[in-house]
Structure 1
């Protein structure tokens, strides 16, 4: 679908002349509509998601990354900047530069800038346009580490607000009566002229079916209520299964996260950019696999571009290598991004044990040494995937016996023949090779 141009307003790559702790001139290609950032904690995955958030028109990286007295952003070396590329409706490649600068009292303003020669940028043809316009695209950014329900926000981070409520439990019992009336009557409560909630949203049949499939439950009804009855604004969710009805206070955090993700993804416009930071939080591997399938279906249906930061082997498994970007730390402390990785290679970097290595069978010791040298040259992550063996008897035995056995039920066995049984030319006379 991507090769046929189905995906419109698609960010094809982003590069960083200078940005946070990424290696200078890091470039990330988006060759597959679902991209997964993989790596250990603190290696730049989330900050790269935030950079993507700041790419479209009207969006700013400064919403997430800004200077404070404790964490000042110095520019002694170079101004922070990002460059991204997309094709416009005519198929023209457009490169857009955004740089961090001070504007008025805001030191963290990100301004679209004219192309700079030092960045070797794609420039508009002569015609009065000094720069390409920023891409116009709806963006949905969800950080699942920070998605807390209204109940959890109060219960874990607040104290009772008045003398009547001596404990958190007292306060929640008292205030929940307001939430209950909103749920039952679909009304808006006010304190003076200030609204305390939005009208509850009923989950659609489609949303309930998807949530049921992912979580392995049967949801009959459900509501999403955005309110500030528990001091801070937040979401409450009412789940209704065949057994009982309950709120997010008694649901698992994974239930609430899936409900919000499904609801938000079904709402977004076609061709949107979806950024998900650790969506696997509190989900078991089976639910993670179904969640990945749901995301892929939405990509096909709505032509979405989705980028996920994750530590989940389940979300990585089965994806093609161009979809997997591995973040690793260099000796100088900066972070490098590897643009193509097999899932098993990515598992190596996040410390996940590999479920099964791949076996390569060759004809003799020399073939084994050659292939081992090639794999070792690629890197330790690749070498960890393979076992290389040679079996006495050579080509004829492998062909007549081993292939028949392994083809029955083994998917991780590969056989490589030398080709010397059927030479197409005479072997080279080594004495004819010039000394130089």
Structure 2
């Protein structure tokens, strides 16, 4: 597992020394779990915010057990992907002491992000009314499956459910079978991006208004947005989008084609691109001049005949031949790659999308950076995702100003879970130890 990292990927290049971060001085208390919430807070952490991830002792975020798990870590690949640059504090929110510490963190935070089921934060006394009363400048962001209020507040939801109920699944796949979900958690990812936008907007508003506010982002609402302009097309026409496989319903020719050795995708988004494809790439000005192909709607009408011509033409040469010609002609194209091919592609290497970063246990772990490049405030250097409770004492000291005696008392009281309390009880306190004999 994780073989060949040093051969396959370069070491991360550190940011310029002394350069500011976009979110310097912003503290985020992260009560979220799974994907959407943690990915959103990771975006904020990459921008330089201090993100304190509050986790249940020992068990932590359930996403830690998403496979594949590494045998030497308490986390799997999905958790590593979505939780870098965070500090983990293990608090037992069922204990009065653990809950009090969580409230103390909220009082000192700029942002709170949570995606518990509706009612959980209220039962804990960490609902938005209570937290905003404690800290009026707080940006309190809830990530809901459907909503925190209203007729569907009780509903659970995950990415595939949102894909199905939003209409997204119905749009994808081939017309002769049921629609298919995207394997990538596209709704979680897009919701995380929305949460990042929402939080940044609320922080900007706080500078003008002098106060924080409640923010809510819904997985379902985001999923409907992710169906794209199909919503507006449906409203215009009263018709449902039809599945079209790898072809595009509104441009032609757009789809997957096969060279003699590789499959690739082209997108003829307008008449000019079609003319360049036929005239410069395929050297068939006669086809470019065919009145049946004069406009996009006409090409769509005659798609079957046009695709048959293209299939035969492209099969005559290898991918390298067609790639050079399409690049020179300005025709949008791309190989149909596997994920492994994509992350090792020339484009990914040129952009340094995947690097390796130090890890205290494994030596190195891979890192996939965000597609954001700031000129004046470079993104934070990536630090590997933490173990459960890895930063508990650090956070208590630095964020809450507690000393070792106070932390030890909280540990014995069960603030960090029964296991920590039992371990602390087995160790004599400073007043219980035998005196050291004088030398």
Query: Would the TM-score normalized by the shorter structure come out above 0.5?
Result: no
Q: Relative contact order (C-alpha < 8 Å, sep 6+): which is higher?
A: 2
TM-score normalised by length of structure 1: 0.23
TM-score by length of 2: 0.23
Q: Which has the higher helix share?
A: 2
